[in-house]
Structure 1
Amino acid sequence: MTEQTTQHAKLTAQEVEIARKYDLTPKFIQFLDRHLIFPLVENLDSIYSSEDVESMEYDLLKDTNMTKFIREKYASLHPGEAIPADLEKKEKAIEEEYARLNAATSKTLEILASKDVQESLKQDKTYNREYLSKNHHIDDAKILELYNFGKFQYNRGDYVVASDLLNNFRLLSVNQDLNLSATWGKISSEIITESWTDALEELNKLREIIDNRHFKGSTLDQLNKRTWLIHFSLFIFFNLENGLESLVDLFFSSSYLSTIQASCPWILRYLVVAVISSKPQLRQKRIKDLVRAVQTEEYEYQDPFTKFVEILFVTYEFDELPEVMKQFKVLSTTDFFIGTLDTAELYKNAQVLVLDTIGKLYKVLSVEQLKKFLNDQNIDNALARDNFKLENDKVLIRGAETGSVYQQVYDKTKAFNFKTNQLLNNAFSINSYNHKQSSQEV
């Protein structure tokens, strides 16, 4: 966050406007737990005032059990005002509930942690439940209290304890709905505590449940859960080593690409970034799939990243490229997920794609035009490429002597315009002749 904040401080008013226009936080709110939304809101300090961000943070978490945080935020937003009586009452109720749940689960947790019990438990849940019930009087009610306490601790902001409680519950529970709920709680806890390997393990467990052929629920319910999973996965893939390769594999799979297209097309931003960030061989392999996905959703969703792909591989509207590249660069530093990457390397990869396309479409460019296309005054790296040569303030593209695709299209269009003009002139001549003949007859 420190590096991002330093970059944020350099934003101009125009860059702030760009960042606000393409901010995806409102889209994410409907598919993330409020505890996971918090870091996204916190990241908005780059484009909104500290007062606005603090107010959003308070509104986001005021209904949780994080009473200390709520008290501090309220005091900051309302200096000099007394803490509301409702908040005082809530704090007392939460303390009482904590004491009750702690007392209800302490003995169970002590038994589960004992060496004798650990050695006696097996992979079979039915056996474990019978063993614990018979020898230690741990029944369904006591197992359920583990879930309740885990949920309570998560809502209280004690994510490490919540993760342990929810895991213990899953080891014994046969209630599939609550087990699924506990898994969502556990993956959230692992994400917030940045335990990325454990979070990936939970992600795979959720995928196994959601993608199961015998999924318990409607098709719409399955679609919604996949949508949630996609949003949760961004935290993991953008922080895990080689995570973006896993993101590409998952998001291009038929069921998840269909989910993106049906319910969250804005996720294409991260698919574009992941492909651009890939190694050259993998990037080239996925470009066609990426272009197809972007084209399919162009009427539903567009941003500088999807527009970048369209310009380079579909429309070739290079006049729009300078502005798109500028927006691309701004969002690379302000977007919560993309900002975790080496944004300089990401932008360099994007420029490489631009150069590759230029090499196919042009024979010659002015130096100034190349600088505009790359949104970069320093084009030394570009000119260092084997297929580019500088001559008299012109950039010559090697290998274009036979005529680039762009030149061929231009030549054909020019010929077509010439023929069209000929036809129009002939038609005008005929009309003039007929008019003259008609006048003579009269």
Structure 2
Amino acid sequence: MAEYDLTQTIIPYLDRHLAFPLLTHLTETMLFPVEQIIKAQYELTKGTNMVDYSLSLFEQLYPDAEIPPQFAAKRDSVVSTNDRLAQEAQSVLEIIEKPEVAQALRQDKRQNLQYLKDHYGLTLEQITVLYKFGQFQYACGNYSGTADYLYHFRVLSTDSDLNLSAHWGKLASDILTGKWSVALEELGSLRDLIDSRSSSSSSSTANLTGAPGSEVASALTQLQARTWLLHWSLFVYFNHPEGRTLMLETFLSPSYLNTIQTSCPWILRYLAVAAIVSRKASTSGRLRHAIREVVKVIQMEEYQYTDPITNFLKELYLDFDFEGAQRELSKAEKIVGDDFFLGSFADEFLDNARYLISEAYCRIHQRIDIARANGRYSDLSERLNLSREEGEKWIVNLIRDTRMGADARIDLEKNVIEINRPALPVYQSVIEKTRGLAFRTQALGAAMGKAGQIDIVENGTTVGDGDAR
């Protein structure tokens, strides 16, 4: 199953510290030689201040080699820099943590900076040391300390670029310390910041230059930021109790769905699993139809990305090939178990995937055998890879726990289930066909309108982009 492993695909979109857990997980799955994984870990540590960890990896790779002197030199440098930055940061914290200062601070950051400068001689340059020390602590692997320093820095800083960087660092620190509720809040704040920053930047740049190229650059920056956010959010969404439902809401929104289709179609694996395991938790109308939307995207992006998980939904809902869905599910079960983000959902995934097969099978057939003669399994039990007894229990529970209970009847004499489903009224068919049409039309119109607003100032006359060409 190494061919379906996405670790090497995902790591380029992660911070190097976020990549360490993925590589550690690979040593447990045994998909790749352990020596290759340790070498990759060692290469990653070269860009950090985790000297002792890097040294331990070096000794595993080269047990008979002499330890290079640069390890000791780097350790001394890290210790001296840490002492200097810690002293500078502590002097700043002693001021801003005073009760009278905390009471005097307001929402206006510029006013706060002026107050700190007038009363305590504290400048923005001195406050920036909190960011530098937080960044240094992150490079050393002290993630809890990083989160604290970056939080205090963001409260006071007016530097938009450093604040955005601090948001990313705070999110990574919360992820690596396992504070999933805090990380979820940080994720939402960062998403809002990326969207607002991109739109404001695009507007101001266009007004200054009057050229469409600036808007293209801003859109590219927005696409890159959203692509990174999609990958980082996987840590949060697959660990927070409500993460899968929230993931569907975010990933199926037009902007992020477009990002997936444009730059990272492999995210469809995680979107598909989230839709499958969230079938019972979905309460809103749109989330109840999440699988349908995911299947449509899988069909459109099949030329870019496919794996047994996406193929399972394709075989089941597009081709109605139950044997093919069964084959793909057997492969998908192993992939989910080996995936870093999905491993803890392997049993839940399999249970819900079998439910989807059962539901689709029962919607197509009007008569289903519970048990066959000569000891053979029922047809549905074979589709689910279950024994006869397990299949019987599964089918009975399926009818009892789902909406099919009103349409199905079990005939114990004949050992069959008879499903008498009333025909769908014409008007209801029309509603089903046009569901979401207004939303998709609105989104398409907005996209076309945005494209048509790109103007070029030429000879003092504003003309449309299309006219200029």
Instruction: Give the TM interval when normalised to the shorter protein.
Output: 0.7 to 0.9
TM-score (norm 1): 0.81
Query: Is the radius of gyration larger for structure 1 or structure 2?
Result: 1
Amino acid at match of 2:16: R
Give 1:129's aligned residue.
113
CA distance in 2, matches of 1:135, 1:82: 56
**One-letter amino acid of the structure 2 residue matched with residue 329 of structure 1:** E
User: Which residue of structure 2 aligns with residue 300 of structure 1?
Assistant: 304
Q: Is the 8 A contact 1:383 1:390 kept in 2?
A: no
Q: For the structure 1 residues 395 and 254, does the alpha-carbon distance in structure 2 shift closer, same or farther, using more than 3 Å as the test? A: farther
| Change in 2 beyond 3 A, CA 1:402/1:121 | closer
1:402 deviates by 10
> Aligned to 2:354, which of 351, 357, 376?
351
Q: State how 1:157-196 maps to structure 2 within 5 Å.
A: 157-196=141-180
Per-residue deviation, residues 16-55 of structure 1 (Å, max 9, x unmatched): xx2x121111111121101111111111121234333322
Q: How does 1:84-123 map to 2 (within 5 A)?
A: 84-123=68-107
Partner of 2:276: 276
Equivalent residue number for residue 335 of structure 1: 339
What is residue 291 of structure 1 aligned with on the other side? 295
Deviation string, structure 1 residues 229-261 (Cα, Å, up to 9, x no partner): 111111111111211111000011000100011
Q: Does 1:398 align with 2:410?
A: no
Match of 1:201 among 185, 189, 194: 185
Normalising by the residue count of structure 2, what TM-score does the alignment of the two structures yield? 0.76
> Post-superposition shift, 1:368?
6.2
Corresponding letter in the other structure for 2:233: S
- Aligned to 2:5, the other structure's residue is in SS state coil
Counterpart AA for 2:63? P
Secondary structure of the 2:200 match is: coil
**What residue in structure 2 maps to residue 424 of structure 1?**
none
1:361 matched to 2:364: yes
**2:72 is the counterpart of 1:69:** no
Residue 310, structure 1, aligned to residue 314, structure 2: yes
Q: Which runs of 5+ in 1 are unaligned?
A: 1-17, 404-442
RMSD: 2.4
1:10-29 correspondence to structure 2 within 5 Å: 18=1, 20-29=2-11
Kindly provide the CA deviation profile for residues 94-145 of structure 1, in whole angstroms up to 9, marking residues without a partner as x: 2222122122222111212222222222221111101111121211221121
The question of whether the paired residues in 2 share the 8 Å contact of 1:250 and 1:256 is answered with yes
Letter of the 1:380 partner, please give it.
Answer: E
Q: Distance in 1 between matches of 2:320 and 2:343?
A: 28
Q: Partner residue of 2:250? A: 250
Conservation of the 8 A alpha-carbon contact between 2:260 and 2:267: yes
1:150 and 2:153 equivalent? Answer: no
Aligned residue pairs: how many?
Answer: 383
* Structure 1 partner of 2:263: 263
Contact 2:368 2:418 in 1 (8 A): no
SS at match of 1:315: coil
2: CA distance between counterparts of 1:214 and 1:44?
A: 42
Contact 2:137 2:145 in 1 (8 A): yes
Q: Counterparts of 1:287 and 1:202 in 2: how far apart (Å)?
A: 28
The 1:284–1:173 alpha-carbon spacing in structure 2 relative to 1, beyond 3 Å, is: closer
Correspondence for 2:12: 30
Identity percentage of aligned residues: 36
Counterpart residue type for residue 311 of structure 2: K
Distance 1:79 1:336 in 2: 29
Distance 2:229 2:257 in 1: 13
Change in CA separation of 1:397 and 1:303 when aligned onto 2, cut-off 3 Å: farther
Is the 2:276–2:352 Cα contact (8 Å) retained in structure 1?
A: yes
Query: Who is 2:213 aligned against?
Result: none
Give the Å deviation of 1:218. Answer: 0.9
Deviation at 1:161, TM superposition (A): 1.0
The 2-side partners of 1:25 and 1:37 are apart by 9
The Cα of 1:298 is off from its aligned counterpart by 1.0
Checking the alignment, whether the CA contact within 8 Å between 1:58 and 1:70 is kept in structure 2 is: yes
Judging changes above 3 Å, is the alpha-carbon distance between structure 1 residues 347 and 395 closer, same or farther for their aligned structure 2 residues?
A: farther
1:149-192, CA deviations, whole angstroms, 9 ceiling, x for partnerless residues? 11111111011111111111111111101110111000000000
